[in-house]
Amino acid sequence: MKFLTVTAFIMALFFGNTTKAQRMVESGTYNTMLKALLSHSVTEVSAKKAHELKNATFLDAREKAEYDVSHIKGATWVGYDNFDMTRVTNIAKNKKIIVYCSVGKRSENIAEKLKNAGYEDVANMYGGIFEWVNNGYDVYDSSGKTNKVHAYSRTWGIWLNKGEKVYE
């Protein structure tokens, strides 16, 4: 994973000049890193589009400690390392589902699993919760609205430009 991170970062530095019309995140460098990191195997939706959607179910594919720091309001935690399909059995197979994680890699993998299990309308939120917060959209913890965001690691935290970064 470390090699992939370094490779994606180097590619982003050298090829970060895509036009705004060609990307779903504000930063061209972040977009280039995401284009290299993700396999683009499922439908992708921007944070802006996801924020505008009504009646979508948000699934958080980060680890529980990350979710506990903050998450999108109403999101259901499904995890990643210990993901189990029983966590989504109460969601109709035809329901609009947006899966997110920090940047979009883990959520892409969970979205693939959901598609393979017969869920019909699944999308990966491109740029993840980092892009959600970078766009100024609210996140919540068990007490309500918060400014904190789990930044996963200092390497990945460079893509989070707003909010208070938490690394524990």
> Which band of pLDDT confidence, cut at 50, 70 and 90, is reported for residue 162?
very high
| CATH level 3 topology of 40-166 | Oxidized Rhodanese; domain 1 (3.40.250)
CA distance 143 to 90: 25
**For the segment 113-146, what is each residue's pLDDT rounded down to a tens digit?**
999 999 999 999 999 999 999 999 999 999 999 9
Does pTM top 0.85 for this prediction?
Answer: yes
Q: What distance in Å separates the CA atoms of residue 103 and residue 82, rounded to the nearest whole number? A: 19
Q: pLDDT tens-digit profile of 95-104?
A: 999 999 999 9
CB 64 within 8 A of CB 79: yes
Angle at 111 between CA 109 and CA 113, to 5 degrees: 75
Residue boundaries of the structural domains of the chain: 40-166
Amino acid 97 reads I
Which 8-state DSSP code applies to residue 147? S
